[in-house]
Chain A
């Protein structure tokens, strides 16, 4: 029998993985001891990572609704992560059941979860690829099958670009991903930052990611993150702290607001 999946040496579960650490921050159960151990040390250094992860998910819900509401019917979601209900397609399909979603991640275990929980209800597919290889994503048969590049696309890059360093040309990567999208396409982006909370915990967090996990992390400032929106016009209210992007409920303020260590924004081409 052929058509096997990954070989054991392609599946690294010995090191903490950002997808499962993030699942742990969100209170999920799809993580192992190594992930929890690393995540706990991060939460000790920066206790509000959990709050930020939640506000990142909430931002996803509002941003995806906004974009589908404006007529977009196809989504490319890169750095999908371990499924967390509601997922991108759940949120989009509550507005229009016909929305098509191409999920992308570079982790074999995320790929397995995607098969069971994300792409099991049709009109969605999974692409195993690295964001640092934009052509592999855009030219992949699954993407080509699901996405019509003559119609507006929503490109979703949530909490993934802080795993791509400047040395790897993060801005150039985003440019390559967006330059083939037609006018009317949207970019939904969120990113971790130290702008709102100058805790020295960030040093420790970066160290854990860089030295132990499967990915290196780089937190960026507001202006650095704005650079990803080259060629896009930011929708109101611009690139802002996650809870402040078109809130649909009460907004935290003061010290409470400082706990949310991420930016979110949506641009239109």
Chain B
């Protein structure tokens, strides 16, 4: 996971791609971590962390490494360097650094560069679909000690994240499965819940919002242990990434065998949940019960 002490904040997806490319070039050239490290006069851990996108890519390092890996075409080097510069630009979410733990800023960066975001949420309406009052109630429940100002900032961040779904250029597809619990456990007040459900009914009209409900009646399903997200990026060479959340942080997976387990769980859940064409009817029925 990224280390905030390096000032490296969350990697953009681009940094992840470049890290993977560096790794690929190094392996192709048959260069070990130690050899690469010697060429930069750094420790091998630094090389490892560059490849894993845990640190920013310093331009002089990148240039030297490419040469060590036998890349001599100046155009290729320039291209790589300009991508590295771009990857070091902070994302919009850096303005929220005060309320954004490191693990979550990774999450926001992945979310904002995805083509498809799949999610399983057993307890809450997914952040991208929350209303302001609902978001406030969620944040308050999760952070009972936080001063009001912090909750406010958290809500603002969440609202800003949501613009990704309505952006003009290639908004991602959000495909989420939520548990029936989400709609039944009262959060905030009945008004907050009703407003939230109305908001969902509106949101699913968008072609890029697919929300499925896993009813109690469906019985057990493969992901009952907890919430997670799967991100897919528009670049084919980038692996899908999974973020499995917990109270104090998150674990990210990008190895195919790990990711597949989550993918299979999501696929099975999507088949087991109420089919999308009936989401609207279920939401309307539940709204009446509040």
Contacts and interface: CB of A to CB of B under 8 A. Distances in A.
Interface stretch (B30-38, B52-60, B120-128, B260-268): B260-268
Interface in A35-49: none
A116 B210 contact: yes
B171 interface: no
Interface string B27-50: 000000000000000000000000
Given A1-B180, A3-B282, A32 B263 contact: yes
A163 B133 CA distance: 52
Contacts of B216: 1
A4 interface: yes
Interface in A102-156: 108-109, 111-113, 115-117, 119-122
A13 B274 contact: no
Contacts of A115: 210, 212, 270, 275-277
B264 A116 contact: no
A3 B278 contact: yes
Given A1-B180, A4-B274, A29-B240, A13 B264 contact: yes
Contacts of A203: none
B6 interface: no
B217 A1 contact: yes
Nearest to B260: A32
Nearest to A121: B207
Interface string B175-215: 10000100000000000000000000000000110101101
Q: Could you say which interface size class chain B belongs to?
A: 35 or more
A8 B260 contact: no
A1 B264 contact: no
A32 B212 CA distance: 22
A199 interface: no
B263 A108 contact: no
Contact of A1 (B207, B270, B282): B282
A8 B268 contact: yes
A231 interface: no
A116 B221 contact: no
Q: Which of B207, B216, B220 has the most CB of A within 10 A?
A: B207
Interface string B209-238: 010110111111100000000001000100
Contacts of A10: 271
A95 B173 CA distance: 24
A200 interface: no
Contacts of A7: 218-219, 272
A109 B267 contact: yes
B109 to A, nearest CB: 20
A1 B288 CA distance: 13
B110 to A, nearest CB: 15
A2 to B, nearest CB: 7
B271 A111 contact: yes
A120 B278 CA distance: 12
Contacts of A167: none
B246 to A, nearest CB: 25
Interface in B114-147: none
Given A32-B263, A33-B260, A116-B175, A4 B268 contact: no
Interface string A1-32: 11111111011010000000000000101111
Nearest to B176: A116
A4 B219 CA distance: 10
A3 B276 CA distance: 11
Contacts of A11: 268, 271-272
A111 B275 CA distance: 9
Nearest to A110: B271
B98 interface: no
A7 B218 CA distance: 7
B274 A3 contact: yes
Contacts of A120: 207-208, 210, 276
Q: Which of A3, A109, A113 has the most CB of B within 10 A?
A: A3
B126 to A, nearest CB: 14
A8 B275 CA distance: 14
Contacts of B210: 115-116, 120
B273 interface: yes
Contacts of B271: 5-6, 10-11, 108-109, 111-112
B76 interface: no
B12 to A, nearest CB: 20
B257 interface: yes
Interface in B239-290: 239-240, 257, 260, 263-264, 267-268, 270-278, 281-282, 285-286
Given A1-B217, A7-B218, A29-B263, 20 more contacts: A1-B282, A3-B215, A3-B274, A4-B215, A4-B218, A4-B272, A5-B271, A5-B273, A7-B219, A13-B264, A33-B257, A111-B271, A112-B267, A113-B267, A115-B210, A116-B210, A116-B276, A119-B276, A120-B210, A120-B276
12 contacts: A1-B274, A1-B282, A2-B215, A3-B278, A3-B282, A7-B272, A8-B268, A13-B268, A30-B267, A32-B264, A115-B276, A120-B276
